[in-house]
Structure 1
Amino acid sequence: MKQILPQEVEQLLKEGKKLSIIDVREDEEVALGKIPGARHIPLGQLAERMNEIEKDIEHIIVCRSGGRSSTACQFLEEHGYRVVNMVGGMLEWTGEVEK
C-alpha cells in the first residue's frame, strides 16, 4: 500500500496540484474540520458509495490517525482503485482546514 505524509499532501496542495482526497472519518469528526476540497465518505458507507469514486485517478485516503484510512485503502485496492494512505491522519495535519 502506498503511503504519503500529511506534510507532503500539504506541499502538493500549496503547489496547486489537483488532488482527490477522501476523508473516511465520521460526521462529527469532519465537522471539526477537514482538508480543503476533501470529499467525505465515512468508512462504514464506503462499500455502498464506491460508485462516487473515480477509478481512473489516484485518491488520497484520510482519517483521524491513519488506521481507518489504511482499512479503506485495502478495501478500495481490492476493487481496482488507486489509493494512497495518509499516515498519521488529521492528528498530524498542520495545514488549513475547512468546516
Structure 2
Amino acid sequence: MANPVTKEISYEDLKALLGKSQNLFLVDVRTKEEVDKGHIPGSIHIPVDTVETALAMNPEEFKAKYGVTKPVLDAPDVVFHCQMGRRGGVATNKALQLGYVNACNYSGGFKEWSEKGGN
C-alpha cells in the first residue's frame, strides 16, 4: 500500500482554526528543549518519536499522560507541527497510518509561526 499523501495547511489556515475550531487538536512534535523556547498557544507536546505510541494509547491513558482528551479517528482538525515542517510531516503520516483521516501538517512550523508574529 502506498504511503498516504501528507495533507498540509498554511499559517493562515492554522490561525483561522485557532480562532474558530473548538475541536482543534494541535500537536507540537519538537523536543522539550525547543518547546521550552516557545510554542503555539493551545498545542500539546508529543515528541515525534512518541507520536505513534501516544495515538495508540487507550483514551484513559492518553488523558492521564497528556491532560487532554484523545481525538477520535475522524476528528475534523488534527494538526501536527514541528520547527520547520519535516518532523510534523513524519508525525502526520504516522497518524494517517493509524486511521486519523483528517490529520495534517502545518508545514511552516513554529519558525514561520513566530516570524509572522503568531500568538
TM-score, normalised to structure 2's length? 0.73
Report whether the alignment pairs 1:83 with 2:103: yes
- Of 82, 87, 104, 1:68 maps to 87
CA distance in 1, matches of 2:11, 2:85: 10
Larger Rg: 2
Choose between structure 1 and 2 for higher RCO, CA contacts under 8 A separated by at least 6 residues: 1
SS of alignment partner, residue 61 of structure 1: strand
CA distance in 1, matches of 2:43, 2:79: 9
Q: Counterpart of 1:46? A: 51
Residue-by-residue CA offset, 1:46-89 (whole Å, 9 max, x unaligned): 12211234223130101000100001111111110130110111
Give the structure with the larger strand fraction: 1
AA of the residue aligned to 1:74: N
Q: Counterpart of 2:112? A: 92
Give the structure with the larger helix fraction: 2
* Structure 1 unmatched runs, 5+: none
What is the Cα deviation at residue 13 of structure 1? 1.9
CA distance in 2, matches of 1:11, 1:49: 26
Report whether the alignment pairs 1:33 with 2:38: yes
CA distance in 1, matches of 2:18, 2:52: 28
Cα RMSD over matched residues? Answer: 1.4
What is the Cα deviation at residue 38 of structure 1? 0.7
Identity fraction in percent: 33
**How many residues in Structure 1 have an aligned counterpart in Structure 2?**
95
* Structure 2 unmatched runs, 5+: 1-5, 63-69
